[in-house]
A and B are shown apart, each in its own frame.
Chain A
Amino acid sequence: MMRPLVVISIAAFVLAMLALFLVKHEVRGLERELALLELDRQRHVEAIRVLRSEWSYLTRPSRLATLAARHLPLEPVQAAQIRWLPQRPAGLPALMTPIGGEGGS
């Protein structure tokens, strides 16, 4: 009477062990993969740090000034080159008439 129960229990136990072992095995594989990915991520983060420094170093103003002087025909902006809308150049029509004013000055 005890026999079938014992056999079934043992079989179930063995099966459970096997399943647990397989799952555990898979989990360890995934964990290893995760750790490698994390390592990879950290290496990339580090590489980005290095590259950001490199970029900052290469775009330092003194170097850009030298390069611009060598390769570009540009010069620093003068105040006269900038117009703000209310101070329209003479050739352009007024955008709006000043309130209470008699038009242009």
Chain B
Amino acid sequence: MRDLAVRRWWCRYGAGAPNLRESGESARAQRLERARGRLLTTGVVFLLFFGALVVRTLDVAVIGVPAGAVGAGAGGAPQPVARADIVDRNGVLLASNLPTHALYVEPGKIFDREAAIAAIGGVLPDLNLDRTAALLDSGRTTALLRHDLTPEQAHAINRLGIPGLWLERQDQRFYPQGRLFAHAVGFTDVDNRGLAGIEQAAGDELRRRAEERDGPLALSLDIRIQHALAEALDDAMTTHRAVGAAGLVMDVTSGELLALVSLPSFDPKAPDRSATNARFNRATLGTYELGSTFKPFTIAMALDLGVAALEDSYDATEPIRVSRHLIRDHHPENRWLTVPEILIHSSNIGAARMAVHVGGERQRSFLEALGMLARMPLESSERGRPIAPRRWSTHSTMTIGFGHGIAVTPLHLIAGYAALVNGGIAVTPTLLRRETGMHIERRRVIGAETSAVMRMLLYAVVAEGTGRKAAVPGYLVGGKTGTAEKAIGGRYKRDSMITSFVGVFPIDEPRYAVLTLLDEPKGTKETFGFATAGWTAAPVAGAVIERIAPFLGVPAAVDTGESEEEPPFAERRKGDDGEQHVAL
């Protein structure tokens, strides 16, 4: 048709229209003229039309559609995840985003309710059928039936072919390790926003890694140690009917936390279904007056400032009366005690006198240097602020000397111990894995010699003092117990206590510190009714060290089978094999 029209047009105008003979019949010429005009118009219209067709054909066939559009209609294309995975220091998965489906129902579109409910129940066995029936009869236009369907379940629901059911893809956070890392890792809400722990503190980093496909975020925690600590604390909590427990394991040279446990724990997938008490992080947020576990700080301070020497003695013959308060010992020796004896017998009087000897101002700046008076840095939003007296009176100096009148978090305590034993360098606690060669800020708080003396003293506490239950055959453990009465409503309660223990191993060349804390433990028949730290917190630390030392590659100290009576430390100090590492 086009050819025809064009040819006509061509014939008439392009190739030169035949000259019409001038006839007398002008009417005929006029008609011809009109016909020509019409033809011309039609031709042009057709030409434009076909031209457009040609252009469009070329557009579709040659220029084509954008490549991305192909396959988009296939449905269910996986979306990129919103948050990167979190793994422990060995790469074990702790948190991951998984594709799930949410099942919605439009009750109005369902024909046979009974059959539909039965069919859905067949796919989701744990679905509450009565509740579902009530939901279908509620008269709502749409209702959410279930979150977190696995891909298989979603597929099965689809195959049921029930109209009125529809699935929506969701990208949901999962915690394969369940409660084990609840406090350290934290949790997110349904919109993948971090609400606690690392999830909150490192939220931006996790999103950045997901966006740039930068791999998972590696924590400093070790799942084996975390499990050993959690299990030991859980056992102790049950045995001693404690209301709570906390535990930390720290690498004393790098400040990396290898385990962080706070009990009772909760399910990070359903944090709102647990008690607020369970969500509370006792290890890094809870502040406690920790009692005698503070005494090593007083002693280290006195020794390091040269105020006291190891052989010096302090008068612990009778309780000290300061204004209305009486400071006394739990196991009174009623004599002058040397510095090591003050620690071994855990003398409050001795520690108080030593603190006063050093002086309040210096005590305050020493604790400040250790980081005991401010929030500890950590990749977590749950960091407790220590409670210290605003006015540092003589009375405060005395009580803080033996760990009362100042409340710190367990994290503060273990970081302080790390500095005491690692040669005197303050460490910054971290939950993220430190790569080898990473720059670590080193700040000296006590001298290396003082640190060596502290190691010896802490060893003595475990070898012959209150920490005996933390001794582990074959390993050199040092540490200190602390039993403090809880202050409730401004008064100390005799029968509710916080017991804590910090153990360090191997004490001759410290690598790891273990902190255990029990909240309101009760005595049992096995502990002869005692609920003090030596009977409750110390054995837990011992059990943990016994379990984790072998796979941490800590060398056993001596042949344990043969020479158990002889203190292994003395054996080592002789250095008779020529292979001993550190002289103390």
Q: Are A78 and B99 in contact, with the CB atoms below 8 A?
A: no
Q: Is B15 an interface residue (CB 8 A)?
A: no
> Is there a chain B Cβ closer than 8 Å to A68's Cβ?
no
CB pair B578–A99 under 8 Å, yes or no, is yes
| Bound Cα distance A80, B549 (Å) | 12
The answer to whether B98 touches A50, judged by C-beta atoms less than 8 angstroms apart, is: yes
Instruction: Among B70, B180, B473, point to the contact of A35 (Cβ < 8 A).
Output: B70
Give Cα distance in the complex from A82 to B560, angstroms: 10
Contacting residue for B62 out of A21, A42, A49, A61, CB 8 A: A21
**Set of chain B residues within 8 Å of A17, measured between Cβ atoms:** 62
Contact of A24 with B64 at beta-carbon distance under 8 Å, contacts A50-B98, A56-B93 already known = yes
What is the CA–CA distance of A50 and B154 in the complex, to the nearest angstrom? 14
Given the complex of chains A and B, what is the CA–CA distance between A53 and B86 in angstroms? 11
Collect the chain B residues with CB atoms within 8 Å of residue A20's CB.
Answer: 62
Q: Count of A-B contacts with CB under 8 A?
A: 119
The interface bits of chain B over 536-569 (1 if a CB of A lies within 8 angstroms of the residue's CB, else 0) are: 0000000000110111000110111100000000
**Contacts known (A39-B71, A78-B473, A79-B546); A56 close to B577, Cβ less than 8 A:** no
Residues of chain B within 8 A of A52, CB atoms compared: 93, 96
Chain A residue at smallest Cβ distance from B88: A56
* A35-B70, A53-B96, A82-B550 known; A61+B474 contact, CB < 8 A: no
Does residue A36 face the partner (Cβ distance < 8 Å to B)?
yes
Q: Which of A42, A49, A59 contacts B77 (CB 8 A)?
A: A42
Say whether B70 contacts A49, CB under 8 Å: no
Interface size counted on chain A using CB atoms at 8 A = 44
Complex interface residues of chain A between 1 and 59 (CB less than 8 A to chain B): 17, 20-21, 24, 28, 31-32, 35-36, 38-39, 42-43, 45-46, 49-50, 52-57, 59
Known: A50-B99, A98-B577, A105-B576. A39 touches B556 (CB 8 A): no
Nearest-CB residue, chain B, relative to A105? B576
Pick from B61, B151, B555: contact of A50, CB under 8 Å: B151
Task: Check A98–B78 contact: CB distance below 8 A.
Answer: no
A49-B550 contact, Cβ under 8 Å, with A21-B61, A60-B180: no
By the criterion CB–CB under 8 Å, are B77 and A31 in contact?
no
Q: Is the CB of B70 within 8 A of A32?
A: yes
Check B61 against A77 for contact (C-beta < 8 Å): no
**A101 contacts the other chain (CB 8 A):** yes
**Which of B5-13, B170-178, B421-429 forms contacts with chain A?**
B170-178
The reply on B74 being an interface residue by CB < 8 A is: yes
Q: Which residue of A lies closest to B58 (CB)?
A: A17
B475 within 8 A of A: yes
Task: List residues of chain A with CB under 8 Å of any chain B CB.
Answer: 17, 20-21, 24, 28, 31-32, 35-36, 38-39, 42-43, 45-46, 49-50, 52-57, 59-62, 65, 76-80, 82-84, 86-87, 89, 98-101, 105
Write 10 A-B pairs (CB below 8 A) sorted by A numbering.
A35-B67, A49-B99, A54-B176, A60-B176, A61-B227, A80-B559, A80-B561, A87-B556, A87-B579, A99-B578
Please give me the 5 A-B residue pairs with the lowest Cβ-Cβ distance, nearest first: A79-B474, A35-B71, A98-B578, A61-B227, A56-B176
